[in-house]
Amino acid sequence: MSIVIESASGTSCVELCCLAGWCVSLSHFYYKVKRAHSLLAKRQRQSHTRQKNNRQCATCRMIKAVIIINTQGKIRLLQFYESIAVKDQQELVQKVFRVITRRSDDVCNFVDGFRDWPTPDTRIVYRRYATLCFVFVVDSSESQLAMLDLIQVFVETLDRCFENVCELDLIFHSDKVQHALIEVIVGGMVVETNRDEIFRAVVEMNKLAQAKVGERGGSSSAAAVSASVGYHR
């Protein structure tokens, strides 16, 4: 026995209940779609943020500067990997020199939290060799011991290039020193730590430079001879 109650409009209660259930189902489906859409948008934002952070990390420079100075504060090599004005570079070198000279030989060879540098998170790693001091300005992501080893690799490479490097070699052969540095660091990133590979690349680059100089010298000599012959005619 079934009881059907007619509403005032002629629609049964059963039909009303079905309609209400369908509305609830539709509302629930709409809620799920809206939630899925919001989750998708959230994931897209997170992915975009992650990609942006990865690009920033990829472009960040872990080595900020390489400085070689003597015991009197004279600059023998200066290479910045950050966009800093030349006048500010000189001031920064003097600040770094003052910090290093105040430290005795008994303390460690690095200074954390160097606040005089224009960019934050700055660390100074240095090593003294006779009258020269090799300084690497890096951020905290670089290991102090790894930077000390890298300085040692750079110095040993210069020793092989100049047969026991001295301060005069850095003055009169600054191009060779720059060549050696380029083989070790490019754009603030360490690209090579093998001494043999660095030395081999520096030797090849020097041979190429000498060949170009010889070509220019030969062409200039030939031009001078032809000009001389033309003059005597």
**At how many degrees (to 10) do helices 144-162 and 174-184 cross?**
140
- Letter for the amino acid at 221? S
State what percent of residues in the chain have pLDDT above 70.
67
| pLDDT band of 99, cuts 50, 70, 90 | very high
- 133 close to 70: Cβ distance less than 8 angstroms: yes
Q: Using DSSP bridges, classify how beta strands 123-129 and 110-111 pair: parallel, antiparallel or unpaired.
A: antiparallel
Tell me what pLDDT residue 7 has: 46
Has residue 2 got a pLDDT over 50?
no
Quote the CA–CA distance of 58 and 52 in Å, as a whole number.
10
| pLDDT band of 164, cuts 50, 70, 90 | confident
Query: Which residues in 89-102 are b (16+ Cβ under 10 Å) and which e?
Result: beebbeebbeebee
Mean pLDDT of 1-18: 49
Q: How many CB atoms lie within 10 A of CB 148?
A: 18
pTM of the predicted protein model: 0.65
| pLDDT band of 210, cuts 50, 70, 90 | confident
CA dihedral 105, 110, 112, 115 (to 10 degrees): 80
The closest alpha carbon to 198, from 168, 212, 178, belongs to 178
- 41 close to 62: Cβ distance less than 8 angstroms: no
- 58 close to 184: Cβ distance less than 8 angstroms: no
Has residue 226 got a pLDDT over 50?
no
- 80 close to 117: Cβ distance less than 8 angstroms: no
Instruction: Specify the higher pLDDT residue, 77 or 32.
Output: 77
Tell me what pLDDT residue 32 has: 57
| pLDDT band of 142, cuts 50, 70, 90 | confident
The closest alpha carbon to 137, from 81, 211, 198, 176, belongs to 81
Tell me what pLDDT residue 36 has: 61
| pLDDT band of 17, cuts 50, 70, 90 | low
Query: Residue 101: which residues within 8 A CB-CB, separation 6 or more?
Result: 73
Tell me what pLDDT residue 45 has: 72
Mean pLDDT of 115-125: 90
CATH class for the region spanning 63-213: alpha beta
**At how many degrees (to 10) do helices 195-232 and 144-162 cross?**
40
Tell me what pLDDT residue 229 has: 38
Has residue 16 got a pLDDT over 80?
no
Quote the CA–CA distance of 60 and 165 in Å, as a whole number.
32
- 184 close to 150: Cβ distance less than 8 angstroms: yes
* Beta bridge partners of residue 138, listed in sequence order: 63, 123
Which range has the top average pLDDT, 21-25, 36-40, 206-210? Answer: 206-210
Query: Residue 97: which residues within 8 A CB-CB, separation 6 or more?
Result: 69, 73
Domain boundaries, given as residue ranges, for the chain: 63-213
Q: Using DSSP bridges, classify how beta strands 132-138 and 123-129 pair: parallel, antiparallel or unpaired.
A: antiparallel
